[in-house]
Structure 1
Amino acid sequence: MIVVTGATGHLGKLVVEGLLEKLPADQVVAAVRTPEKAAGLAERGVDVRRADYADPESLVAAFKGADKVLLVSSSEVGQRVAQHQAVVDAAKQAGVGHLVYTSAPQATTSALVLAPEHKATEELIQASGLTATILRNNWYNENYLETIKQAVATGSFAGSAGEGRVASATRADYAAAAVAVLTGEGHEGKIYELAGDVAWSNAELAAEIGKATGRETTYADLPADEHAKVLTQAGLPEPVVGMLVGIDAGIKDGLLAETTGDLRALIGRPSTPIGVTVAEVAGTL
């Protein structure tokens, strides 16, 4: 039996769908904070269980009888370590045989603003003694949906990433990798650096948007403080502004640029290029 946490979230629901293509529904557990949101899965025979990262008892109950658990990292930046600790403790208490965790690129050594919580979680997992696999997911193409929409509408977008490159792939690509690990053999103890096959720059993203819309699209590269002002004027809260500017600084420094063969090897096909995502978004507007 395989338990997927965050099973109604963007990544988790794709993993559940992938598992259902390979396994009977009664072998899949959707662990969710709000079971009502997973009613559609329950109707298809999936075992839906309440699991709240802030409620350790719910986690132990959700993991009962599980052979494998996919810990999809919490979306609550700043609270992740405590929440992930609760999941690791519950997995140990429930006797889970194999824990799989979605981490960040080069999490234990990277200066990326989001890396510390993932580093701490990887250390918790290692200290727990649980058999584990770490999936270090690079950026998602979908992280740029709002940027693409804005650029389609206005013909330009701004940032502070310079000529830094991003080896992104789609959520569906990363979900397929998780399914491959959860249903395959020989992944115990492995750390996979998952990334898209091609790393691209914001100038190249602008070119892809221009190609999709048939009109010139430009990228304005700003100093970090100017970028922060633009985001603040757009109404984003201060912590979000700081995080986005920090991420662009990391991209500028090459922290998301590494392309590895791990994702392609796990999913058995090329990753989805950013241009495909751009074309899909442009086609809906």
Structure 2
Amino acid sequence: MILVTGATGHLGRAVLDTLLQHTAAHQLAALVRDPAKATDLQARGVSLRVGSYTDPASLAAAMPGIDTVLLISGGGDDDGLQQHQNVIDAARQAGVRRVAYTSRALQDPGTLANELMVRHFQTEDYLKASGLGYILFRNILYMDTLPLFTGPTVLETGINLPGGEGQVSYALRSEMGEAIANVLLQDFTDSRIYHFTGAAAYSFHDVAAALALASGRPVVYHDVAPEVLAARMRERGVPEVAIGRTIGFMTDIKHGQESLVSSDLAAALGRQPTGLLEGIKQLYQL
């Protein structure tokens, strides 16, 4: 039986949608904080386990009968690492066979500007040391983040970000969810690491060119200073913590952290992942 945590989030639902296409619903469980948000999953036959990463007792109650846990990484809480450790501890104590974790595909974890990303690799280390079987899904930056980074007026103002000439091998979150589900359905006993990325890496110049081609309008990328982006975000009332994390993402992109390219996603999907232009058309509704 597979337990998917974070089941009402975008990635969790993408995983469950694929799992439900290929296995019986009674073999699936969903960890949710609010069952009212998962009534559709329950209606499809998925067992709901109510719990929270911050509540070890609820996690212990969610584990009986589970063979595999998919631990979808939490948000930016200060105790995020402890939350992940709570899930791993509960799985180990319940005799779960393996834990899969959604980590990050980054070139050099030791030189990250975005400190929030460090906890992914700390979680990896904790999971490896737990004695459990493990699957690490090291995922590249979602292509779905592009509209958030470029802003709603990108077709009028162009892309104004401090990403330098850095490249990212973007992939769609939905395809990552599909690929994760495909791997979880495989019966293997060894621990594995997957790097889920797109088939090519793209700069913001490439993103601008794709937007221009898809929209029929001129779109240009301007490499601005981090201070310029921070000031513009403050004008829009963005919290300082979010500004800092965005600058961190951009700095890591500039330094090539997100440029890893792997064929693992294509292999797990059984096809090439969606490329930049088609992804842009979907995400920007062009």
| TM-score, normalisation: structure 2 | 0.94
Task: Give, in whole Å, the separation in 2 of the partners of 1:153 and 1:107.
Answer: 31
Match of 1:223 in 2: 225
The separation in 1 between residues aligned to 2:132 and 2:159, in whole angstroms, is 45
Aligned to 2:185: 183
Secondary structure of the 2:160 match is: strand
Identity value in percent: 36
State the shift of 1:111 in Å.
2.5
Which residue pairs with 1:14 in the alignment?
14
Aligned residue number for residue 285 of structure 2: 283
Among 137, 144, 150, the alignment partner of 1:142 is 144
Would you say how many aligned residue pairs link Structure 1 and Structure 2? 284
Q: What's 1:68 paired with?
A: 68
Give distance in 2, aligned partners of 1:282 and 1:10.
17
Cα deviation per residue 1:62-94 (whole Å; 9 max; x = unaligned)? 121101010000023432101001000100111
Query: Which residue identity lines up with residue 215 of structure 1 in the other structure?
Result: R
Alignment of 1:189-228 (within 5 A): 189-228=191-230
Can you give the 5+ residue segments of structure 2 that lack an aligned partner in the other structure?
A: none
Contact 2:107/2:256, CA 8 A, preserved across alignment: no
* Distance in 1 separating the partners of 2:148 and 2:156: 12
- Residue identity in the other structure for 2:278: V
Find the counterpart in structure 2 of residue 131 from structure 1: 133
Q: Provide the rounded CA distance (Å) in 2 between the counterparts of 1:282 and 1:105.
A: 25
Please identify, of 220-229 and 245-254, the stretch whose mean Cα deviation from structure 2 is larger.
220-229
Instruction: Give structure 1 regions of 4+ aligned residues with deviation exceeding 4 angstroms.
Output: none
Give CA deviations for 1:233-281 in whole Å, capped at 9, x if unaligned: 2221111111111111100000000101111112211111222222123
The equivalent residue for 1:168 is: 170
The answer to whether the 8 Å contact 2:170/2:276 transfers is: yes
Query: What is the DSSP-based 3-state SS (H/G/I as helix, E as strand, rest coil) of the residue aligned with 1:103?
Result: strand
Q: Aligned pair in 2 of structure 1 residues 31, 107: CA closer, same or farther (>3 Å)?
A: farther
| Paired residues of 1:29 and 1:47 also in contact (CA < 8 A) | yes
Stretch moving more, 184-193 or 16-25 = 184-193
- Asked if the contact 1:63–1:96 (Cα under 8 Å) also holds between the matched residues in 2, the reply is yes
Could you say if the C-alpha distance between residues 141 and 158 of structure 1 is closer, same or farther in structure 2, counting changes exceeding 3 Å?
A: same
Change (3 A) 1:273 1:110: farther
Moved more, 76-85 or 36-45: 76-85
Distance in 2 between residues matched to 1:142 and 1:10, nearest whole Å: 11
Question: Which amino acid letter does the alignment assign opposite residue 156 of structure 2?
Answer: T
Give the alignment's TM-score, normalised by structure 1: 0.94
Structure 1 counterpart of 2:102: 102
Tell me how far 1:166 sits from its aligned partner. Answer: 0.4
Alpha-carbon offset, residue 188 of structure 1: 3.0
Question: 1:108: Cα distance to partner?
Answer: 7.3
Structure 2 SS opposite 1:200: coil
Quote the residue 1:44 is aligned against.
Answer: 44
| SS of structure 2 residue aligned to 1:257 | coil
Q: Indicate the SS of the match to 1:185.
A: coil
Shift of 1:120: 1.0
Seen in structure 2, the aligned counterparts of structure 1 residues 107 and 98 have a Cα distance that, compared at 3 Å, is farther
Do the aligned residues in 2 keep the contact of 1:155 with 1:215 (CA within 8 Å)? no
2:266 and 2:276 mapped to 1: Cα distance?
15
1:116 counterpart residue number: 118
Q: Is the 8 A contact 2:26 2:46 kept in 1?
A: yes
Which of 224, 229, 237 is 1:235 aligned to? 237
Please say if residues 150 and 160 of structure 2, whose CA atoms lie closer than 8 Å, have aligned partners that are also in contact.
no
For 1:266 and 1:99, locate their aligned partners in 2 and report how far apart those are by CA, in whole Å.
18
Q: Is the 8 A contact 2:109 2:118 kept in 1?
A: no
Kindly state the Cα deviation for residue 153 of structure 1 after the two structures are TM-superposed.
4.7
Match of 2:258 in 1: 256
Amino acid in structure 1 at the alignment position of 2:55? D
Q: CA deviation at 1:106?
A: 4.0
Gaps of 5+ in 1: none
Residue 58 in 1 paired to residue 58 in 2?
Answer: yes
1:107–1:191 distance in 2 versus 1, CA, 3 Å: farther
